[in-house]
Amino acid sequence: MSAPVLARFSGAVRRTRAIALKEFRHMARDPQVVLLALAMPLVLILVFGYGVSFDVERVPLVVVDRDRTAESRALARAFTAAGTFDLVAVSDDEAAVEPLFRGGHAKVALVIPPDFQRAQGRGDTATAQLLVDGTDNATATIALGYAETIGLTLTQRDLPRGFDVPLRAEVRTLFNPALRSAVFIVPGLIVLVLVIVSVMLTALTVAREYERGSMEQLFATPVGRVELILGKLMPYFVLGLMQVLLVLVVGVYLFEVPLRGSVALIFVSASVFLLAELAFGLVISIVTRSQMVAAQVAAISTFLPALILSDFLFPIDNMPPPLRVVSSLLPPRYLVHALRAIMLRGNGVESVLPDLAAMGAFFIVMMVIATRKFRRTVA
């Protein structure tokens, strides 16, 4: 590298570092930024970790036992023994079920007919009816699955000795055997936290400079557009990596989320995502030049899509094709996939290369737009 080129490069590095130090000082003097950056991840992970749960436990169950025999009582005990169903009422009248459903006191009803024991004694198929409150679709689906498992277990247990069913399924759940919601949520929560910090905060940085009139002073300096943009990105990039570390530590030690893959690869994936979202936040800030408008645009264009269209809570495969196309354009989708692959399945870099490429392409596009839109004018 020639001396003039080296001198220009070192000068660009010094100017970029000076802008970054200025942003660090602004950020340190603003307690709201520090509070949002450090307290918000803890609040989110505690709320989502403890409050948002897809685990179905202790479903309120009412048993209508019209047979009142040892066999019918054994069937009722089979439903309550595993802890999935919580017995709240026992009756011999089916008319008692609907008031309990309407009042929200029960969600599942097991109705045992009066000939249940006699059917078993004759060797016939003994049937019972399961009524489920369908207003909560997720609970109803999982409750039906548990009921089918209990019925299959009882059927196999009551078969004559030496006789077996033609086909028996043995299910093994990999990577999350206990099906805990926290294991599913924490990787997506990292994405949500980074979106809030990277976009919401950086969307305000340039707009704040325009509103305060300090942008004119920056235009009077010899700092180039790329140097100014990179200098403004650096503090929030460092802040984002600190938040990744914070959420990882809390998720692993408090919620026992497995960390099977490379920690370095997690930070590499998060770094590429941060750069992409920071650049997008700057584009919003440069275009709007108003903190209020920038905050509104950032919330609509990043936070809601990251919550809904990233596979964080809702499966992308179940969405209509237009929404799947929109999701494919957003970086949160790729980081959610990468973090789950690394943290939960222990995958290596080869499995997340497409995700890194997609996020890197988004960063390049946003940087091109930011540098072209960032004019050295105040009008």
Give 119-148 pLDDT, tens digit per residue: 777 766 667 888 888 776 667 777 777 777
DSSP string, 255-310: S-----S-HHHHHHHHHHHHHHHHHHHHHHHHHH--HHHHHHHHIIIIIHHHHHSS
Helix (H) or strand (E) holding 29: helix 3-29
Residue pair 32/197 in contact by the 8 Å Cβ criterion: no
Mean pLDDT value across residues 73-91: 82
* Whole-prediction pTM: 0.76
Confidence of residue 345 (pLDDT cuts 50, 70, 90): confident
Runs of H (alpha helix) within 103-224: 116-122, 137-158, 181-195, 202-212, 215-219
pLDDT tens digits, 161-187: 443 444 444 555 567 766 677 787 888
Using the predicted structure, report yes or no on whether residue 7 has a pLDDT greater than 50.
yes
Most confident of 103-107, 195-199, 306-310, 334-338: 334-338
Backbone angles phi, psi at 159, to 5 degrees: -70, 150
Q: What is the pLDDT, as a whole number, of residue 270?
A: 94
Tell me if 315 sits within 8 A of 232, measured CB to CB: no
pLDDT exceeding 70 applies to what percent of the chain?
80
- Please check whether residue 291 is in contact with residue 207, taking contact to mean a CB–CB distance below 8 angstroms: yes
d(Cα 322, Cα 71) in Å, to the nearest integer? 53
Domain boundaries defined on the chain: 14-52+180-373, 59-158
CA distance 340 to 233: 27
Tell me the pLDDT tens digit for each residue of 195-218: 877 777 777 777 777 676 666 566
Q: How far is CA 124 from the centre of its chain?
A: 48
pLDDT band at 159 (very low <50, low <70, confident <90, very high): very low
Residues 347-369 pLDDT 10s: 999 999 999 999 999 999 998 89
**What is the CATH code of the structural domain delimited by 59-158?**
3.40.1710.10
For residue 135, give the amino acid letter.
Answer: T
Supply 292's token pair: 């209020």
Amino acid 167: pLDDT: 43
- Cα–Cα distance for residue pair 259/267, rounded to 1 Å: 13
Helix (H) / strand (E) containing 57: none
pLDDT tens, position by position, 267-305: 999 999 999 998 898 888 888 878 788 878 887 888 788
Mean pLDDT over the full length of the chain = 79
Cβ count near 31 (within 10 Å) = 8
